[in-house]
A and B are shown apart, each in its own frame.
Chain A
Amino acid sequence: MIGGGAAGLGAAGGVKAADPGAEVIVYTEFEDVAYSPCGIPYVHGGEIPDFERLFLAGKQAYVDAGIDVRYETAVTAIDPAAHTVTVAGEGAVRYDSLVIATGWNYADPGVPGGDLSGLYYVKNIRKAMEWDKVISETKAAVVVEAGPLGLEMVTALAHRGVETHLIDPNPYALSMMADPDIMAPVEESWRELGVHLHFNTTLEEFLGDADGKVRAVRTSGGEITADLVVISTHKTPETALAKAAGLDLGSTGAIIVDERMKTSAPDVWAAGDVVEIPHGLTRTPLQGLTGSHAYAQGKTAGTNAGGGDRAYRAVYVPWGTPAGKWVIGGASFGEATATALGIPYVKGEAQGISRARYYPGVQPVKVKLLAEPGTLRLIGAQMIGGGEGIKERADFLAQAIRFGMTLHDLSTMENVYSPAIGALNEPIVVAATNGVAAAKAK
């Protein structure tokens, strides 16, 4: 395995499950494996008290599982014809099967000043521990781009009492996947937390002081003073090794794989954010999915690399995250992405509640469903709520899309009603019923 992230470790487990006797080596450039990078923004935000909690398994756990993890060891080349990888400090190492799980990097912001100190790319846990101390001394920060990690970092910095500015070239946050009506309450809650939002604003330069440390960013809307800049540009696949080895890459720039996660090279598999996977409805390939996708793909790649047989499926991309005081989520297409692709849709919306209206802690849940005109087959969903049930609805709706359910199916679906955990009128049912009515009225 090249890579010790979710995909590389999923693959290592997959190989062992298929062939317990296999010799498994995982190379990673990092000092650790088996920690959850996903928890880093929540330690920065103070919701999780320390970084130690993010470690899921100690180093001994891999030794016990018969997986040889080589920490801080870079692979510098792949030779698919010779079945070798070149490893720093080890030279050429032969493999029978190789899994490339080199993951992703933040896109280069591509403006002058990128070499200044004070620019934080959130990823590695050891670095995060050091940056956490920096955040304690930070007065003002700029977050560059409102992608999923940007959203989490804006909220985290605001919770830490840092004067936080968000700059994004688009008109609203998370605009590459979410809809503006879903994001409007999130933005309002950021403003309540004191966050300064600068949309339709392009980054032009990082400005430094005499010591080479960032002191401000220059943008299309003027200069913003900051002693910390968090870069959360979109994810790009880390394909340098694969490209140099001549593997086929797709239009997203990521490695082309099939359902067994096989690449174009013999005995080479790939998984995680370094590959592209087709969308279940349009078949358009997508890259840069989530850690859970990476782990499941890794298991598939590893199982096949170990001589087993496992298939991964096209994706319907359930997603969700806390943002400001809300939790947002969805599956497949929203209005913005469907409109961009030119996919026609009818819409059913409802503003509901998460439990009985009289039960303490009841929270709002807004559901928006998109369906194919005519058949009313579900093609996407987006939601915002106070927290509970958003993730579960996103998971369920992704399955509903995958299995071709219609607004009719959802409008007649059974749902749990128990005052403390569910309302009599399930918001999905109400949204679907409204969607059926809207389709009839057209």
Chain B
Amino acid sequence: MASFFGWLRSNSEHYLLVAAHQKLARTLGSPPPRPPKGLKELFWLRVFAPVYALLPWPVRSRIMRAMPGSHRQTWAPPPRSRGPAV
């Protein structure tokens, strides 16, 4: 099971970054990535990345948190700002 999530994570991480590079190339005028080649790249860039982009962040975040990993163990909550020191 871990290897399925590993496969999902490494592919989604890679192709979402490529999609982000495409977007930044349009907005910042930076060099674009090379166009996708083959069915695998077309699927991840033309199907997966746009569908992922349509989901609102809370939904995406919930899906990511549902994957197995260290984040599902006990971790101290982020620090909260306290009152004045003096």
List the interface of chain A (C-beta within 8 A of B).
Answer: 170-172, 175-176, 179-181, 184, 199-200, 248-254, 256-259, 275-278, 280, 282-285, 311, 313-314, 335-337, 339-344, 402-404
Knowing A282-B64, A342-B60, A344-B57 are in contact, say whether A184-B30 is a contact too (CB < 8 A). yes
Q: Determine chain A's interface SS by DSSP, over half rule.
A: loop
Bound-state CA distance A311–B76 (Å) is: 8
- In the complex, the chain B residue whose C-beta lies closest to that of A399 is B79
Q: What is the 8 Å Cβ interface bit string for chain B, positions 1-33, against chain A (1 contact, 0 not)?
A: 010011011000100111111011100101111
Give the bracket for the number of chain B residues in contact with chain A. 35 or more
Knowing A258-B70, A258-B73 are in contact, say whether A176-B17 is a contact too (CB < 8 A). yes
Contact B6 A336 (CB under 8 A): no
- In the complex, the chain A residue whose C-beta lies closest to that of B80 is A404
Bound-state CA distance A370–B28 (Å) is: 15
Knowing A175-B17, A340-B19 are in contact, say whether A250-B69 is a contact too (CB < 8 A). yes
Contact B9 A339 (CB under 8 A): no
Knowing A181-B30, A200-B33, A276-B69 are in contact, say whether A258-B75 is a contact too (CB < 8 A). yes
Residues of B close to A343: CB separation below 8 A: 57
Bound-state CA distance A285–B61 (Å) is: 12
Tell me which of B24, B34, B71 contacts A339 (CB under 8 A): B24
Bound-state CA distance A291–B61 (Å) is: 28
Contact A171 B75 (CB under 8 A): no
Contact A402 B23 (CB under 8 A): no
- In the complex, the chain B residue whose C-beta lies closest to that of A249 is B2
Contact B17 A252 (CB under 8 A): no
Bound-state CA distance A62–B44 (Å) is: 51
Contact B71 A284 (CB under 8 A): yes
Residues of A close to B67: CB separation below 8 A: 250-251
Contact B81 A259 (CB under 8 A): no
- What total of A-B pairs shows CB separation below 8 Å? 133
Instruction: Report A259 CB to chain B, min CB distance, Å.
Output: 5
B42 within 8 A of A: no
Instruction: Report B44 CB to chain A, min CB distance, Å.
Output: 12
B43 within 8 A of A: no
Residues of A close to B72: CB separation below 8 A: 256
- In the complex, the chain A residue whose C-beta lies closest to that of B17 is A340
Bound-state CA distance A404–B74 (Å) is: 21
Q: List 22 A-B contacts (CB under 8 A).
A: A170-B17, A170-B21, A171-B21, A172-B30, A181-B28, A199-B31, A200-B31, A250-B67, A250-B68, A250-B69, A251-B9, A251-B67, A256-B70, A257-B73, A258-B73, A278-B71, A283-B61, A283-B65, A284-B71, A285-B71, A342-B53, A402-B79
B78 within 8 A of A: yes
Bound-state CA distance A257–B73 (Å) is: 7
Knowing A180-B30, A402-B78 are in contact, say whether A278-B70 is a contact too (CB < 8 A). yes
Knowing A170-B33, A343-B57, A402-B79 are in contact, say whether A256-B28 is a contact too (CB < 8 A). no
- In the complex, the chain B residue whose C-beta lies closest to that of A275 is B70
Instruction: Report A329 CB to chain B, min CB distance, Å.
Output: 19
Bound-state CA distance A258–B76 (Å) is: 10
Bound-state CA distance A171–B78 (Å) is: 35
Residues of A close to B32: CB separation below 8 A: 171
Known: A171-B21, A335-B28, A343-B57. 5 other contacts (CB 8 A): A171-B33, A172-B21, A200-B34, A340-B16, A342-B53
